Amino acid sequence: MKNNKTYISKVTTDLLDIPIKRPHQFSTEKVSTKSFVLLKIELSNGIVGIGEGTTPGIWWNGESVETMKLVIDKYVTPILIGESPEYIERILQVINRQIRVNPFAKATVEMALFDALGKLYQAPVHQLLGSLYQDKVAVRWALASGTEDGDIEEAKGYVANKMYANFKTKSGKEAPDADAERNIRIAEGIKGISSIGIDPNGSWDRITTMKWMDRFFDAGINFLEQPLDPRDIEGAAMLVDMKKVPVMADESLATVEDAYTLAKEKAANIFSLKVHKSGGMKNTIKIAGIAEAAGISCFGGTSLESSIGTAACLHAVASIPNLDYGSEFFGPTWLADDPVKEPLLIKDGFIHVPNKPGLGVELDEEKVKKYRRKEQGEVIV
């Protein structure tokens, strides 16, 4: 398809391992570094589009940066070579027909294609997706120091320096009752200053969650993010029906079809939108449209991206009107370093949407070289 159109001439991937500022406790593991797959799509005119793939861990949905790299190198690259980035939708449909699932890998590819197309048209990605609803998005920080006192002091510090005004906690490491007690103590520890949402990553059961709902409500908890197993749609609907603390769908919401099911079953008050888990920015916007039609609020969820992936998330969610719960796009400040020359701006509790062509961030090749994972026996000089 080369004819007179600009076409894709080269595709490369690298794995990056970047340290984070402090250990982060998920429900299943504690991490001190974050890994990424960096994708570059080069066009015949020399333009290079960049995309970034990352995931909380292979425990989250079955993908890892290593699987993403393999899928892109072996299966996606042959589809991309010779194609024009002006036909993104057609390219994505071919990829979907030839490669099942793997939404994180597909989102990485879509990201790089839109970055290349934006640079080709000299337009920011949000203009290609339908324009902006807002030019900055509120950011909620995830408290995950591993201790109650640590989380309380961290929250107070961020409020004092006006970095973040709202928070959520990571849960699931402890038994559900102990987890519930811990979160109430954290909420009480910052009462009058701020409030929290709770994210158990699907580790609680129906009875425990229902038992604590009144106390969560009294403590001013903002939301419960995926308290139950993602497959327990009926249980989630029961929690919603209690009309206490709003229930947010995360792991149970990946596809457009998931969004329809959750809306039909009235099993969520809030949708956590994540570009990677939904296979790209366009799918994310479709899911937000279903939420809007069903009267469901939205939240900008994170896979803890650098400024590259966070920019893609911003371009998508800043275009929708029902982002009532803001976002958790703190990835660029969570990392000890960022592989771009100018990290995204987070100020006074808001992250600002980049307005340069493409994703609006420029890769720092020296940092890429510094954090690139060496192959066995390789020496980088």
Instruction: Report which of 250, 306, 294 is spatially closest to residue 273, judged by C-alpha positions.
Output: 250
Active site residue 21: no
Catalytic residue among 52, 225, 251, 328: 328
Report the SS3 class of residue 11.
strand
User: Among the options 119, 168, 170, 244, which is catalytic?
Assistant: 170
- Classify residue 10 by its DSSP letter: E
Contact by Cβ (8 Å): 117, 49: yes
Residue 328 designated active-site: yes
Sequential DSSP letters for 167-216: EEEE--SS-HHHHHHHHHHHHHHTTTT--EEEE-TT---HHHHHHHHHHH
CA–CA distance, 301 with 212 (Å, rounded to integer): 24
Alpha carbon 223 to chain centroid, angstroms: 18
Residues in contact with 301: Cβ distance below 8 Å, sequence separation at least 6, in sequence order: 250, 272, 273, 274, 277, 327, 328
Give me the residues paired with residue 198 across strands.
169, 224
- Rounded to an integer, what distance in angstroms lies between the CA atom of residue 145 and that of residue 125? 35
**Annotated active-site positions, please?**
170, 328
